[in-house]
Amino acid sequence: MLKNISNNTIRLLGLLILASVVLQAILYFQNTTLGVVESSLRFFSYFTILTNLLAGFYLIFYANQKAWTSQNGSLTAVTMYLFMVGLVYQVALRFVWNPTGWSRLADEMLHSVNPILLLLVWFAKEKTSELRYQMIPKWLIYPALYLLFIWIRGAISGYYPYYFIDRNILSSDDFYINVVVLIILFVMFSFGFIWLGRLKKSS
């Protein structure tokens, strides 16, 4: 049944993911007291926001049959990124706050619903026979650049979007340990998705 998912449906899923980002943006900018530049920089410093934007636009381009969306395991990479968003949130961030109303809806969409939707598309559409372990270094460029951006941005502004990479409250050793742990998790789940793809292929 999943294999029959249409490009129109995939496009709608992409728009739904983008709509959840827009909802979060409206709520965020309504409640911030910061200036436009600083509040925008902070909003777009969240891996959750950037990755949901990436996933939403990716699905739209995929539905429009852009050639690059079916190359180099790109669907697997984007799915893995958003899966990590959901996983880290459930394990390390869900207990930090308890949103209600529209904030609760946006929060659940960004961290729970959207990763599942993209995972379903992955199961339906990824060409798992073409996945190679040699693709993993390319997949790691995005999270590595993000961590570099957060490190540089935080050193300049003093603002870090997540407590587990916040140098204001962590020692240097703890900060670098957490960064290494995150990178290891990305590597592990990259291998895991390829393994799952091969298991899916054999079944």
pTM of the model: 0.92
Q: For the residues 89-113, what does the mean pLDDT come to?
A: 89
Helix (H) or strand (E) holding 50: helix 47-63
Report the alpha-carbon distance of residue 134 to residue 132 in Å, rounded: 5
- Cβ proximity of 114 and 82 under 8 Å: yes
**pLDDT at 202 exceeding the cut of 60:** no
**pLDDT at 51 exceeding the cut of 80:** yes
Which band of pLDDT confidence, cut at 50, 70 and 90, is reported for residue 203?
A: low
Give the residue, 56 or 100, on which the prediction is more confident.
Answer: 56
Burial grade of 23 (CB within 10 A; 0-12, 13-18, 19 or more): middle
Report the alpha-carbon distance of residue 135 to residue 151 in Å, rounded: 26
Mean pLDDT, the chain, integer: 90
**pLDDT at 67 exceeding the cut of 60:** yes
pLDDT at residue 65, rounded to an integer: 82
Residue pointed to by tokens 């979060």: 24
Q: For the residues 82-95, what does the mean pLDDT come to?
A: 90
Instruction: Give the tens place of pLDDT for each residue, 110-160.
Output: 999 999 999 999 988 888 888 899 999 999 999 999 999 999 999 999 999
Report the alpha-carbon distance of residue 164 to residue 151 in Å, rounded: 12
Q: For the residues 30-48, what does the mean pLDDT come to?
A: 91
- Cβ proximity of 61 and 22 under 8 Å: no
CA angle centred on 141, ends 55 and 78, rounded to 5° = 20
**pLDDT at 1 exceeding the cut of 60:** no
CA dihedral for 178, 182, 183, 187, sign (positive or negative): positive
Instruction: Give the tens place of pLDDT for each residue, 9-28.
Output: 999 999 999 999 999 999 99
